[in-house]
Homo-oligomer: A and B are copies of this chain.
Amino acid sequence: METLSTTRAHGGTQGVYRHASVETGTEMTFSVFVPNHAPDAKLPVLWYLSGLTCTHANVTEKGEYRMACAAHRVILVAPDTSPRGAEVPDDEGWDFGKGAGFYLDATREPWARNYRMRSYIEKELPALIAARFPADMGRQGITGHSMGGHGALTIALRNPGRFRSVSAFAPIVSPLNCPWGDKALGGYLGSDRAAWREYDACALIADGARLPDLLVDQGGADGFLDEQLKTHLLREACAAAGQPATIRMQPGYDHSYYFISSFMAEHVGWHAARLKG
């Protein structure tokens, strides 16, 4: 693991790191904020998965998480959203290929070799975080935005007991039922929609998977709400399954980091309350 930068911020250290990923077959860059802490302390870890087109940098620069993470002494990890590099297959669209890994393991060519963000986030990166940072991996939470909200929900649903806290900002709740999902899951996984269910939060809940609890904020003025995000499907899936969930419409908010940063401190606090020693 190579350190690209470390910067003092809010009493802690905001770092950016790069390593050679076995899963993606590429160099992968991610950021980690480590709050000020006692020398031998291990801190809980909050994963933040980003949305379409983003890298680690968007939330690192605009997410406004450091003050709350410092106050609650929570590490925040922000991975990239896909493999990168000249040798990695790409698509002309901004919603497929680079920047659009959808937190799945692709099975179709030419994507299958590199587009393994599920295994990268579920297995490879946590092992690196555990080995190289003062992280208590027994206390993990996960959140994300849009495509990353989809990632947070589905990864938590498929790994029961791993995350004590799960939240999302404007998540894609059902790739089976939106154009982004049709394009991405069709492209990476093929036309057998049964194979998509493990990458669909609503389907996973309907099929019996459960979260410890759930907090979702969704902007009421988000231009992607009606066609892509369809928050009501998650509300219905949770209600039908008896899955506890706090799903809030926030009037007037859009899909941007102005929305995310407005509720970030509250989400970090919500996670921190569930990640206490």
A178 interface residue (CB < 8 Å to B): no
Interface string of A13-24 (1 = CB under 8 A from B): 010000000000
Task: Check B258 against A8 for contact (C-beta < 8 Å).
Answer: yes
Interface string of A217-247 (1 = CB under 8 A from B): 0010100000000000000000000000000
Task: Check B62 against A262 for contact (C-beta < 8 Å).
Answer: no
Residues on the B chain within 8 Å of A64, using CB? 64, 66-67, 261
Interface residue tally on A, bucketed by range:
20 to 34
Binds B, one of A79-87, A89-97, A248-256: A248-256
Residues on the B chain within 8 Å of A258, using CB? 7-9, 14
A254 touches which one: B7, B254, B262 (CB < 8 A)?
B7
A66 touches which one: B8, B10, B261 (CB < 8 A)?
B261
Residues on the B chain within 8 Å of A253, using CB? 8-9
| Bound CA–CA A257/B1 (angstroms) | 25
| Bound CA–CA A152/B219 (angstroms) | 36
Residues on the B chain within 8 Å of A262, using CB? 8-11, 66
A8 touches which one: B14, B67, B254 (CB < 8 A)?
B254
